[in-house]
Amino acid sequence: MDAGVNSPGLILPLALGFFGRVRHGEERKHALSLLVMGSPMSMDELKKAAAAEALTLVESGMRLGLGTGSTAKIFVDLLAERMKREGLKLIAVPTSEATRQQAEALGIPLTTLDETPELDLAIDGADELDADLNLIKGGGAAHLREKIVELSAKRFVVIADETKEVKTLGKFPLPLEVVPFGLEATKARLTRAIESAGSVGELRLRLKADGSIVKTDGGNIILDAHLGVIKNPAHLAETLDHVTGLVEHGLFIGMAERAYLATREGVRVNKRA
């Protein structure tokens, strides 16, 4: 049974010798260290363990939402392997052009929300998550499509490593996707809205390493709000929803059903109350 958010998360220890496969087990007071061939597992291996655990939720015939980002990419790879190995039949909607290209290269059948407006399950990563499974997403500039896809799914599950878990959201800059037209006016409205919701911080235009402006798959741009602390994420999200010029913010409130968190002790499952 998954632990609730008000109790310690269930630790799912990795079976030694199974190279990243997660097994279900009862909660242990003293979790075993994770070792592969006698060495501590890397964070990439732990991410793979979290992705592998989420993969157990997938059944043949499902309509899936495929996330974007480093951990989601691992999940898509594992999904393709399992489809080939077990003959799973399913269709999926990608949340970005990068994920679409990856899925197509792996032979995963794709659809669109126009063709398949309701999904069974969406699995994606997060840049930050708190104990209530409120999220900050958008580090990959894909949070608009991610939110559309994940709101279209009956179940939304997060996979992440333990560094993404925080007591209070806000250390990771909050992505704000805005239209290019009237940028400074929109920026001023956003600043006022954020301050009215009890937060304060600088809004910075997201740039690439070469100094060019980051563009989303929809042709919009990103302002990153460096807030440090978001005391009331739900209130801020509701306030931002009314700002003209803002296409979508990176706060995902009350959407995730559970999170599989890769830790040095195993994969911990946090379930929203």
Parse the chain into domains and list their residue ranges: 174-252
CATH class of 174-252: alpha beta
pLDDT digits (tens, 9 = 90+) for 221-237: 999 999 999 999 999 99
265 is catalytic: no
Q: Which parts of the chain sit beneath pLDDT 50?
A: 1-8, 13-38
CA distances from 168 to 78, 227, 230 (A): 31, 11, 7
Q: How many CA atoms lie within 13 A of 36 on its CB side?
A: 15
Please pick, among 146, 150, 177, 248, the residue that the annotation labels catalytic: 146
Beta strand segments in the chain, E: 3-4, 10-12, 35-36, 39-40, 63-66, 91-94, 119-124, 128-129, 135-136, 153-161, 174-178, 202-205, 221-226, 246-249, 251-252, 258-263, 266-271
pTM of the predicted structure, to 2 decimals: 0.86
Query: Tell me: the pLDDT tens digits for 45-92?
Result: 888 999 999 999 999 999 999 999 999 999 999 999 999 999 999 999
